[in-house]
Amino acid sequence: MGVMTLLLTSAVLQIMQDAADRAILPRYQSLAAHEIDAKAANDVVTIADKEAELILAEGLAKLLPEAAIVGEEAAHAEPVLLERLGDALCWIVDPIDGTNNFAAGNPPFGIMVALAEAGEAIAGWIYDPLTGRLCHAHRGGGAWVGEERIAVRSTGANPPVAAISLVFMDPARRAATKAHIAPHYALVDIPRCAAEQYPRLVLGINDISIFERTLAWDHAAGVLFVNEAGGKAARPDGRAYRVDEAHLPGLIGAASEVLWEDLARHFAKI
């Protein structure tokens, strides 16, 4: 890593650790019922999400005052913030990815932060507060786990191992996915946590993943991490994922170009 990249990563990690230590870990497995609210179908928010996002936003604002900040909870309360995703510089913050797991007192969950430039992610950080694992990537600078540069590796399984998220698909699309895609893969449970799913594609645990909902805070850091590691994460038609197009459905991640192309061919049938 270059000196500037190293310094930026060190600063972002400190901010993420601060949010974890002050807002997230003290409430893990100790949330009261009134500290958990339903936000949408299949989605909850906790007091830890809200407090962690404030800590992250405050720290990132000091780090790059010129950058916009779009956090998941702030954007939920004020959707007009989504228009800032295409700004010259924009921090994208998911204070707790995998909130459903966290609220139930279970792993995995993580903090995800990305820095975007004119709608394209240029850096991303994925932090696991329970293990201290930091996955990070910088455009053109490779993918890293901690201080170790990493290259993607597949499971080598036949059929390939697939984690397919059906949660946000409509019934017809869910049925088509099961009919035209599932039979070609060995299916495993999804972690319901992009902060865990993207590392699994790089670390040889899963070979492919399909995501229907593609919100910027869930995917900006992970897509960059997979691509910089030598895998491929892109829209099903091959277009690059952009954070300012996060309203569009459909995203494929794979541990290799070949695995991605095979999945894209099956995906075209649904």
Q: Is a pLDDT exceeding 80 seen at residue 4?
A: no
What CATH number has the domain spanning 161-267? 3.40.190.80
Return the domain boundaries, the chain: 3-150, 161-267
**How does residue 39 score in pLDDT terms, banded at 50, 70 and 90?**
confident
> What are the percentages of helix, strand and coil residues in the chain, rounded to 5?
40, 25, 35
Give the whole-number percent of the chain exceeding pLDDT 90.
86
Strand order through the sheet with 161-164: 186-187, 161-164, 208-211, 251-254, 232-234
* pLDDT tens sequence across 246-258: 889 999 999 999 9
Supply 31's token pair: 């949330």
CATH 3.40.1160.10 fits 3-150, yes or no: no
Alpha-carbon dihedral 260, 216, 112, 235, rounded to 10 degrees:
0
3-state secondary structure of 97: strand
pTM of the full structure = 0.96
Ramachandran bin of 118, using left for φ above 0, alpha for ψ from -120 to 50, beta for the remaining angles? left
Mean pLDDT of 63-85: 96
pLDDT digits (tens, 9 = 90+) for 98-121: 999 999 999 999 999 999 999 999
